[in-house]
Amino acid sequence: MNHLVLADLSDEELASLVSSQNEAYDILMERYEIKLMRYIRRLSVLNQQEVEDILQDVFLKAYMYINDFDKSLKFSSWIYRITHNAVISEHRKWAKYAYEPIDQDAENIIQLIDDIDFGYDFDRKILRDIMQKGIASIPLKEREAIQLYYMEGFCMQEISDILKKPIGSIATLIRRGKQRLKKFIDRNFPSKS
């Protein structure tokens, strides 16, 4: 198959062709490179080279185990699960360091802000900046669930597939994360009206 025909296939269809068409995997990497790099960066305090190293490992593992891909899942859930595992593994190495603020997309931060009832008015720009620091300060499990839901746009079932936790646990992690963010904002917001 030529590149144009392959490019029209779904992720799952491409995954099934990888063993016979190496170009299918190239297309999958192109589709996920930026998304996964952003995801790794959001969950970690790693520099660009370390993020790229993790991404390279993720793509290598995904290629090695592509035949184990469960076709009842979405390919995106499967590759994000591999990425999750790689970040958690790396997290053990850097967990002792303080968290740095993570650069979040302003639009996604606003959606998260809108989902938390602060009970007072605020300057959104200032709150957004503080919210970025708050996200970096919450425990990794909660931060990851919030990142996947708000920043990556996954539904609860997909997050459940990625994190290998029941949907109820995912909802709890998101709720707890939002509660921690509210407390963080309440402590750190310079002027409540």
What is the residue extent of each domain of the chain? 3-94, 106-188
Task: Convert the pLDDT of each residue in 76-97 to its tens digit.
Answer: 999 999 999 998 887 766 554 4
- Cα separation of 69 and 61, whole Å? 11
Q: How far apart are the first and last CA of the chain?
A: 62
Is residue 118 within 8 Å of residue 185, measured between CB atoms?
Answer: yes
Q: Which residue has the tokens 């079932």?
A: 157
Distances (CA, A) of 48 to 53, 103, 129: 9, 13, 22
Angle between helices 124-137 and 106-115 (to 10 degrees): 90
CATH tag for 106-188 (out of 1.10.10.10, 3.40.190.290, 1.10.3720.10, 1.10.357.10): 1.10.10.10
Task: Convert the pLDDT of each residue in 26-68 to its tens digit.
Answer: 999 999 999 999 999 888 767 889 899 999 999 999 999 999 9
Task: Convert the pLDDT of each residue in 135-151 to its tens digit.
Answer: 888 888 999 999 899 88
- Cα separation of 189 and 173, whole Å? 23
154-190 burial, b at 16+ Cβ within 10 Å, e below that, comes to bebebbbbbbeeeeeebeebbebbbebbeebbeeebe
Is the whole-model pTM more than 0.85?
A: no
> Under CATH, to which class is 3-94 assigned?
mainly alpha
